């Protein structure tokens, strides 16, 4: 049986450790708004023992996610990555989830080292020197919804992804990152 979940979709807040290339520490905040949730349930006979049946359930969710991440390269730069992604998530009856998301965003890289420019033959220091890039964020996620286990509507997730910086000194530069996330809904 396939049915549309018509319950109230609560927005979900996520807090993640954002490790750019696994070495440069950072933090990420996300705000997820579920758009559509479909529940598929079926009972099937087992192949070995046809008299016994098993219950299978899948919950498919489509959502929009606003993200704000930041990481630091010590003695080099600090980066801010606001982005907006579209995500599809599938959850089974045990609470195990897998998801994939893609979107658009920006990267603001502020240089921590002194930066200079030459103006009319004189050397001048540039305060708050930075570069801005258009990015394409993409991620894959494996997670666990804690509700079936602990009756708490929270989740944990492991994410691997990339932010592709467009027009970075050449065509593009992929920024690879790993995340450990904790997610919880906002109840009004």
| Whole-number pLDDT of residue 71 | 92
Whether the per-residue pLDDT at 138 is higher than 70: the answer is yes
97: confidence class by pLDDT, cuts 50, 70, 90 = very high
Other Cβ atoms within 10 Å of 154 Cβ, number: 14
User: Which residues constitute the domain of residue 129?
Assistant: 2-185
Q: Is the backbone of residue 22 left (phi > 0), alpha (psi -120 to 50) or beta?
A: left
Distance CA 32, CA 93 (A): 22
H-assigned helices in 27-172: 147-150
**Mean pLDDT of all residues belonging to the chain:** 87
Q: Which pLDDT band, with edges at 50, 70 and 90, does 21 fall under?
A: confident
For residue 6, pLDDT beyond 80: no
4 compared with 131, residue with greater pLDDT: 131
**Looking at the predicted structure, is the pLDDT value of residue 15 above 70?**
yes
Q: What is the pLDDT of residue 46?
A: 63
Residue 167, Ramachandran bin (φ over 0: left; ψ between -120 and 50: alpha; else beta)? left
CATH number (domain holding residue 24): 2.40.160.20
CA distance 28 to 187: 21
Q: Is pLDDT above 70 for 82? A: yes
Closest CA to 124 of 137, 136, 115, 133: 115
Q: State yes or no: pLDDT of 133 exceeds 60.
A: yes
What is the enclosing helix (H) or strand (E) of 147?
Answer: helix 147-150
Listed ranges 25-34, 54-63, 111-120; the one with the highest mean pLDDT: 25-34
Whether the pLDDT of residue 8 is over 60: the answer is no
Q: Would you say residue 113 has pLDDT above 90?
A: no
Residue listed under structure tokens 């690879």: 176
Count the domains in the chain. 1
In order of 65, 182, 186, the CA distances from 175 in angstroms are 19, 22, 31
**Per-residue confidence (pLDDT) for residue 39, from 0 to 100:** 82
Average pLDDT on 39-44 reads: 78
Q: What pLDDT sits at residue 50? A: 64
Q: Which residue has the tokens 């045990």?
A: 94
Instruction: Please state the rounded mean pLDDT for residues 37-61.
Output: 75
CB atoms inside a 10 Å sphere around CB 10: 15
| CB within 8 Å of 169: residues ≥ 6 apart | none
Q: What is the pTM of this model?
A: 0.83
42: how many CB neighbours lie within 10 A of its CB?
12
Residue 112 DSSP symbol? -
144/149 Cα distance (integer angstroms): 10
User: Between these two residues, 97 and 47, which has the higher pLDDT value?
Assistant: 97
Q: What is the pLDDT of residue 5?
A: 67
């Amino acid at each position: 049986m396939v049915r549309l979940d018509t319950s109230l979709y609560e927005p979900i807040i996520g807090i993640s450790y954002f490790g750019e290339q696994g070495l440069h520490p950072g933090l990420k905040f996300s705000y997820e708004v579920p758009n559509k949730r479909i529940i598929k349930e079926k009972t099937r006979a087992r192949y070995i023992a046809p008299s016994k049946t098993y219950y299978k359930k899948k919950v498919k969710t489509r959502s929009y996610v606003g993200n704000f991440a930041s990481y630091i390269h010590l003695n080099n730069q600090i980066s801010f990555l606001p982005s907006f992604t579209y995500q599809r998530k599938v959850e089974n009856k045990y609470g195990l989830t897998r998801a994939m998301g893609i979107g658009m965003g920006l990267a603001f890289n502020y240089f921590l080292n002194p930066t200079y420019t030459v103006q009319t033959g004189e050397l001048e220091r540039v305060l708050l020197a930075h570069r801005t890039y258009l990015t394409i964020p993409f991620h894959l996620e494996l997670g666990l919804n804690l509700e079936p286990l602990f009756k708490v509507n929270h989740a944990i997730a492991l994410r691997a992804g990339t932010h592709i910086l467009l027009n970075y000194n050449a065509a593009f530069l992929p920024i690879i990152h790993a995340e450990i996330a904790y997610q919880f809904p906002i109840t009004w």
